[in-house]
Amino acid sequence: MVLSHRLGEWAGHAPVLEEEVALANIALDLLGQARVLLSTVGDEDELAYLREERAFRNLQLVEQPNGDFAHTIVRQLYFSAYQHLLYSQLAAGDGPFAGLAAKAVKEVAYHRDHAGQWTLRLGDGTDASHERMVRACTALWRFTGEMFQPVDGLDVDWAGMDTAWLESVEAVLRRATLPLPEGPRSGAWSAGAGRQGVHTEPFGRMLAEMQHLHRSHPGASW
């Protein structure tokens, strides 16, 4: 839901018309997945609009501001590769999310492909685009470790997924002539991380905007 919101901020601002369509398409897929997930545990709007920042459990990666197009693409690359691995495992199992994951994995494969294609074009495009991609890859690298911290109730091989994720991302970056970033992927700097409800500063402002209208009319239906 959070990443969908971030992608929604691109509407009317994309570098080419085709990307207006693509980014909105991905945002819609993600919103659809979020609505199914939220509805399985409660009322989707109550959960989206009436929780405070500390009650949100999203990864810090997805709440990161859009930045430039390179930043948005790298965020998509890191996250869609993770989502694809996660949903593939869930779809193969018989847990409560197998059905949702089986549908979502098809959408996410498209998202991963889209991010991968743009990583190639921007990484191996011009010097300027290469530079921007290096900066974005490095800036977001610190948020990637959190994705593989075990989540209660999900029977998944987290360590194996982490290895597979590194391999797939490294392969795309290498083809795009981009170096694998260095530096920690999680740690003290993250002060607890999103899964524990500890977020980065831009997230509160994002929620303020997202929730404002709903909260201004308590109990109203829309």
Partner 1 sequence: MATAAAHKAYGTEEEHAGTAAYERAFDAAVAADGRIEPRDWMPDAYRATLVRQMAQHAHSEIIGMQPEANWITRAPSLRRKAILMAKVQDEAGHGLYLYSAAETLGTSREELLDKLHSGRQKYSSIFNYPTLTWADVGAIGWLVDGAAITNQVPLCRCSYGPYARAMVRICKEESFHQRQGYELLLALSRGTPEQHAMAQDAVDRWWWPSLMMFGPPDDESAHSAQSMTWKIKRHSNDDLRQRFVDICVPQAESLGLTLPDPDLKWNEERGHYDFGPIDWTEFKEVLKGNGPCNEQRLTQRRKAHEEGAWVREAAAAYAAKHSDDTKAEQA
Which residues in this chain contact partner 1 in the complex, by CB under 8 A?
1, 5, 8-9, 11-21, 24-25, 27-28, 31-32, 34-35, 38, 44-45, 48-49, 68-69, 120-122, 124-126, 128-129, 132, 209-210, 212-214, 217, 219-222
CB closer to partner 1, 147 vs 176: 176
Minimum gap (Å) between residue 175 Cβ and partner 1:
11
Q: How far is CA 135 from CA 16, 70, 113, 132, in A?
A: 22, 9, 21, 5
The whole-angstrom separation of Cα 115 and Cα 19 is 11
CB closer to partner 1, 27 vs 105: 27
Minimum gap (Å) between residue 9 Cβ and partner 1:
6
CB closer to partner 1, 54 vs 175: 175
CB closer to partner 1, 195 vs 214: 214
The whole-angstrom separation of Cα 82 and Cα 3 is 14
Minimum gap (Å) between residue 220 Cβ and partner 1:
5
Minimum gap (Å) between residue 211 Cβ and partner 1:
9
Minimum gap (Å) between residue 134 Cβ and partner 1:
13
CB closer to partner 1, 159 vs 213: 213
CA dihedral of residues 81, 36, 48, 4 (deg, nearest 10): 40
